[in-house]
Amino acid sequence: MRTWRAMDRAPHDGRWIIAIHRDDPDQRAVIRWDPEAAGDPRPWHVASCRHSYPADAFTDWMDFPDCPPSDRPQPECRAPEAARGFNPTGDHDGHQDDGPAHPPR
């Protein structure tokens, strides 16, 4: 059984995790640690848009659950769309922005 863990133990290796937002405990976010530079004030980046959060924005986290078992061959289980090249064009509210949040790597 997966359990929630304190954010001070969250991975900083770029993997996607599920997190609980500090200001809205009913809100969950799919995020990863991806600071743009040393000292980035908003190092947690959201999978569904180009929004980012400060280091203390979330209280708890957990890994993604395993894929359910199936008798049929299944494609490999993957992280959210952002990890597969999803390229959103707006923020949480659907507002368009003028460019990428990160320079190309």
Per-residue pLDDT band for 13 (boundaries 50, 70, 90) equals: very high
pTM of structure: 0.62
Contacts of 72 (CB under 8 A, 6+ apart): none
Mean model confidence pLDDT for the chain: 77
